Chain A
């Protein structure tokens, strides 16, 4: 149990286009979902926290107009990278926290974004 999926697993896009990444909790309801970004050979950095039905909370330094997060249901959160540029190329990982567990997060497999 406690499986989180991400789609797509990788994407290549042209500079200036927008890319949407989906994160789904497959067998549990996620009251909170998190989005992380990981540059090569670096750690995971939390970008934002989203709760179902409310606006996401962004970490300092993360542009909320560039990284749009929508937590539309208890099993789905989306991250849209708007007007992507090469510096946005990274590994994006989502995680989901079930309502029954305060401190557990289940991680998705990640999405590798390459902006040309």
Chain B
């Protein structure tokens, strides 16, 4: 069975600090997808990134960057120069084929609090 672990339950940083959110996953499949979502207080999930298992290139999007390392089964997310608007719960998720369907398994989430 697939599993996603986000060991950090809550993180508090002061604005402009960099912060890294950890994600470790377990899967038996060789083909899978990894995702990061942001859930602000409104509750609506905001898609941040999708990465397939064959693409280990790191990605940067503005203040966001992702580090995918298959060797350690990790897909970590870094926010550079954090802002108050980054305060939210962040979920890492794994999509894996189950029979003819695919299934998304979420980690437990990391609550990020950015203060002034």
Contact = CB atoms under 8 A, between A and B. Distances in A.
Contact of A43 (B43, B102, B108): B108
Interface stretch (A21-29, A62-70, A76-84, A106-114): A106-114
A49 interface: yes
A32 interface: yes
A43 B101 contact: no
Contacts of B111: 41
A44 B37 CA distance: 11
B51 to A, nearest CB: 11
Contacts of B105: 46
B43 A110 contact: yes
B91 interface: yes
Contacts of A44: 45, 91, 106
A91 interface: yes
Given A43-B91, A44-B91, A44-B106, A107 B45 contact: yes
A-side interface mostly: strand
B31 to A, nearest CB: 9
B22 to A, nearest CB: 15
B44 A110 contact: yes
Interface of A: 32, 34, 41-46, 49, 57, 91, 93, 95, 97, 102-107, 109-110, 112
Given A42-B108, A110-B44, 11 more contacts: A43-B91, A44-B45, A45-B106, A49-B101, A91-B43, A97-B102, A103-B52, A104-B50, A105-B95, A107-B44, A112-B43
28 contacts: A32-B101, A34-B104, A42-B108, A43-B106, A43-B108, A44-B45, A45-B106, A46-B103, A46-B104, A46-B105, A49-B101, A49-B103, A57-B101, A93-B45, A95-B104, A97-B102, A103-B33, A103-B52, A103-B102, A104-B50, A105-B95, A105-B104, A107-B37, A107-B44, A107-B45, A107-B47, A109-B44, A110-B44
